[in-house]
Chain A
């Protein structure tokens, strides 16, 4: 059963990823990305990361992909890119070689360290206690970890999100009439 889940979700992940890279139409690529993200969420559930699976579906497949689709729709850039155009002659062979090299190196490292001994991790008492909870142990243990050991990082992420939102609003809004804005001048600096 676990093998079946892994094979199906793995096929979803890899098929969606290939779709993102190979589909010429941006909307099709975004929908392939949804397939990949759902496959990852299934694999999270298979590895007992229930909370992260829910967040994956809500944040990634829900918010981020919708953001992509909104940008495609608002700008009307949904025309297909001609994939036969190759701006640099050796770009694709080099990219294929580098990709295969990354896969071979990381794969060999994984296979070489397959039988490595796993160091024992000492978790804080609160996390250990939460992990004993019968039905919602994952979310409780995660909450104890985030809100006790990593509470400063958690607060900093909220600051980061506020900064990102303010920056994006400033970047994307249209300037009012008569307002001084910094224009990007065509051919400036040439």
Chain B
């Protein structure tokens, strides 16, 4: 009987997961045309970065990574609030607008 050692997830595993999540978010931003879904994909990318911050914070024994994540969350909340306000203002005038229709701010 071969003794099989169960691997323990290291920081590298968490970083690879976060890279995969970030790549999925990037593809989503490039492919989708609904502005609400674009925001969700940006949230995915922010969460991927948060995950890698926490992984590094544990590896280095530094709480600073976690406080950075805290600030990222606050900024993400503010960004979503303003972004959805803009989306509401645009979709109220043009229902079913996609990102292709959002050239109104262009001079």
Residues of A within 8 A of B (CB): 2-3, 6, 10, 13-14, 17-18, 20-21, 26, 29-30, 33, 36-37, 40, 43-44, 46-49, 51-52, 55-56, 59-60, 63-64, 67-68, 71-72, 74-77, 79, 81, 87, 91-92, 94-96, 98-100, 102-103, 106-107, 110-111, 114, 118-119, 121, 123, 127, 131, 138, 141-142, 144-146, 149-150, 153, 157, 160-161, 163-165, 167-168, 171-172, 184, 188-189
Say which residue of A6, A107, A145, A168 sits within 8 Å of B81 (CB atoms).
Answer: A168
Q: How many angstroms from the CA of A64 to the CA of B22 in the assembled complex?
A: 19
B30 interfacial contact with A, CB 8 Å: yes
* CB <8 Å contact, A55 and B70: yes
Closest chain B CB from A148 CB (angstroms): 10
**A and B contact pairs by CB, cutoff 8 A, 29 listed:** A10-B17, A14-B17, A17-B25, A17-B44, A18-B24, A20-B41, A21-B28, A26-B36, A36-B44, A37-B43, A40-B51, A47-B57, A51-B66, A52-B70, A55-B73, A64-B80, A75-B91, A102-B19, A102-B26, A106-B23, A110-B15, A144-B63, A145-B63, A146-B67, A149-B67, A160-B74, A161-B77, A172-B85, A188-B104
Q: Which 4 A-B pairs have the closest CB atoms?
A: A168-B85, A99-B27, A95-B30, A171-B85
Q: How many angstroms from the CA of A134 to the CA of B23 in the assembled complex?
A: 39
* CB <8 Å contact, A60 and B78: no
Count of inter-chain pairs, beta carbons less than 8 A: 227
Q: B27 contacts which chain A residues (CB < 8 A)? A: 21, 95-96, 98-99
Q: How many angstroms from the CA of A158 to the CA of B77 in the assembled complex?
A: 12
Closest chain B CB from A186 CB (angstroms): 8
